Amino acid sequence: MNEKILIVDDDDGVRQVLGESLQDAGHRVSSAESGEKAIATVREEAFDLVILDMVLPRVDGMAVLKDITTLRPELPVIMITGYASVETAIKAMKMGAVDYIVKPFRMEEVELVVGKALERSHLRRENVYLRRQLETTYGVHNIIGQSPLMRRIFALIEQVASSRSTVLITGPSGTGKELVARALHFNGDRRDRPFVSVNCGGIPDSLLEDELFGHVKGAFTDAVADRPGRFEAADTGTLFLDEIGNMSMSLQIKLLRVLQEREFMPLGGTRKVQVDVRIIAATNIDLKKMMEEGKFREDLYYRLNVIHMQLPSLRERCEDVPLLIHHFLNKYCREMNVPTKRFAPEALKALMEFSWPGNVRQLENVIERAVALSFSKEELGPEDLPREILDEGMVEMPVLHVGGDGFSLDEVLANYEQRMLYQALEHAGWVKTRAAELLKIKRTTLIEKMKRLGIPLKGTSERAAGAASSAEAEGSERVTDPGANN
């Protein structure tokens, strides 16, 4: 939040458009119209991000990039480039730029790229801080855990970070697979090289193929220029294939071929491209079962599964819960600029006893929400926790007594139903299609039930973000369904 961004472009229009929208998005913005001025500014002031035009008068973008990365190795730089010079952008990424934006750009695209870069730099900064503070006692990077199961993961990370072997990370949703993938990259000797992440779930096959392997000009109607894929962008670095279990069989074959041959042909291309990429793949789907069902290729599985890291559910390592609570409390209080809060014993007890079907992500969401909703309160009580946490353990089988009043079957069943729904939703990361699958009901049925049982249609973290600014917006938020496309 509120990060400081430097925009370097000789075009007044670009500076203005970018500056205004980034300001509207809550960032602080400075700008420079030349390379010399940019370098002078970076020397004097601390920034969180630089957006740098490739073509500048006198000193060009590439030279400015070099100076900035020398001056401030931790400072992420995003390049702005024309359509025709994407090649140069790739070169810039190899020189240390974290990403690039192609002109003409759409603002949503810019915000996405900026958001990603900031998140990464945030992670990096936290890494540096945590490495000093925590590494010896609590683990690698900002992966928190002291349990034997997590210690094994940390040891494995250290052992294989610098190797080129493919790693397959498995584990339930929200257990930190992506975090581990990053830790592998940033602890290895490719740490100064690109870390490129591709989500293989949720985008159509043809788009994913294009995203991975790129295309050459004229490959299809909209292919107005060469566009290198993520494989090329990740050259000399790491490519993280997230949700690999969702990849179609036909793409699986293509991926296997690339892994075997270390080269591939962009769509419409005539020349093979060679790459040196370390592959890390992750999934929360049981790939063995998928293989049995004929939905995942066995040969690809063994190619990916050279090193296997299975992340434990939070329930399997519940001794880490207090540590995580402490970590996230600090994190969100710092982020929201409030003095560090604590939990009252009663609330802490509920947190410790909860089963955490959504694992660390759910725990993090719950803490973030509690911090966001409690305003100036220093001690957080049970009232700051979501219903599902307090309810667990309270629902017991009602017993009929002779001469007693009986009970409402509807109420008891609704209570159960609500808890089951919460569990499935948390487990599915609030992706309703997935939750419905888990419950073996239709997505529309799930949404009907959620409305009837008063379950908000969004997950806790998404709600917490909005709730802090306007409590009454909640009512209107309930009727929108942001998950309609997932």
**Which residues in this chain contact ligand ATP in the complex, by CB under 6 A?**
142-145, 171, 173-179, 284, 360-361, 364, 429
Q: Alpha carbon of 273 to those of 73, 217, 258, 351, 365: distances in Å? A: 30, 15, 10, 51, 42
Closer by beta carbon to ligand ATP, 361 or else 432: 361
Select from ligand ATP, Mg ion, none the partner in contact with residue 135, using the beta carbon and a kind-dependent cut-off of 5 to 8 Å: none
Select from ligand ATP, Mg ion, none the partner in contact with residue 145, using the beta carbon and a kind-dependent cut-off of 5 to 8 Å: ligand ATP
Choose the stretch contacting Mg ion; rule: CB under 5 A; options: 92-100, 123-131, 148-156, 169-177: 169-177
Closer by beta carbon to Mg ion, 180 or else 321: 180
Question: Measured at the alpha carbon of residue 447, what is the angle toward residues 427 and 408, in degrees to the nearest 5?
Answer: 90
Q: How far is the CB of 118 from ligand ATP (least distance, A)?
A: 15
Q: How far is the CB of 144 from ligand ATP (least distance, A)?
A: 4
Quote the CA–CA distance of 370 and 350 in Å, as a whole number.
13
- 92: number of Cβ within 10 Å: 24
Contact 282, 304 (CB under 8 A): no
Does 201 help bind Mg ion (rule: CB under 5 A)? no
Select from Mg ion, ligand ATP, none the partner in contact with residue 120, using the beta carbon and a kind-dependent cut-off of 5 to 8 Å: none
Q: How far is the CB of 242 from Mg ion (least distance, A)?
A: 5
Select from ligand ATP, Mg ion, none the partner in contact with residue 309, using the beta carbon and a kind-dependent cut-off of 5 to 8 Å: none
Select from ligand ATP, Mg ion, none the partner in contact with residue 364, using the beta carbon and a kind-dependent cut-off of 5 to 8 Å: ligand ATP
Q: How far is the CB of 171 from ligand ATP (least distance, A)?
A: 6
Select from Mg ion, ligand ATP, none the partner in contact with residue 179, using the beta carbon and a kind-dependent cut-off of 5 to 8 Å: ligand ATP
Task: Tell me which amino acid residue 294 is.
Answer: G
Q: Which two tokens stand for residue 253?
A: 């074959």
Closer by beta carbon to ligand ATP, 179 or else 200: 179
Contact 356, 328 (CB under 8 A): no
Closer by beta carbon to ligand ATP, 179 or else 234: 179
Edge-first strand order for the sheet with 238-242 is 195-199, 238-242, 278-283, 167-170, 307-310
Q: How far is the CB of 178 from Mg ion (least distance, A)?
A: 4
Closer by beta carbon to ligand ATP, 18 or else 181: 181
Q: How far is the CB of 125 from Mg ion (least distance, A)?
A: 21
Q: Which two tokens stand for residue 417?
A: 């139903």
Q: How far is the CB of 358 from ligand ATP (least distance, A)?
A: 9
The residue length of the chain stands at 486
Q: Please select the residue that binds Mg ion; options are 60, 67, 158, 178, rule is CB under 5 A.
A: 178
Contact 351, 389 (CB under 8 A): yes
Closer by beta carbon to ligand ATP, 357 or else 429: 429
Q: How far apart are the first and last CA of the chain?
A: 27
Q: How far is the CB of 153 from ligand ATP (least distance, A)?
A: 9
Quote the CA–CA distance of 277 and 446 in Å, as a whole number.
42
Question: What DSSP string describes 370-426?
Answer: HHHHSTT-SEE-GGGS-HHHHHTTT-----PPTTS----HHHHHHHHHHHHHHHHHH
Closer by beta carbon to ligand ATP, 138 or else 343: 138
Task: Tell me which amino acid residue 296 is.
Answer: F
Residue position matching structure tokens 């949703």: 173
Helix (H) or strand (E) holding 279: strand 278-283
Choose the stretch contacting Mg ion; rule: CB under 5 A; options: 17-25, 173-181, 397-405, 464-472: 173-181
Select from Mg ion, ligand ATP, none the partner in contact with residue 341, using the beta carbon and a kind-dependent cut-off of 5 to 8 Å: none
Q: How far is the CB of 281 from ligand ATP (least distance, A)?
A: 12
Binding-site ranges for Mg ion (CB under 5 A): 177-178
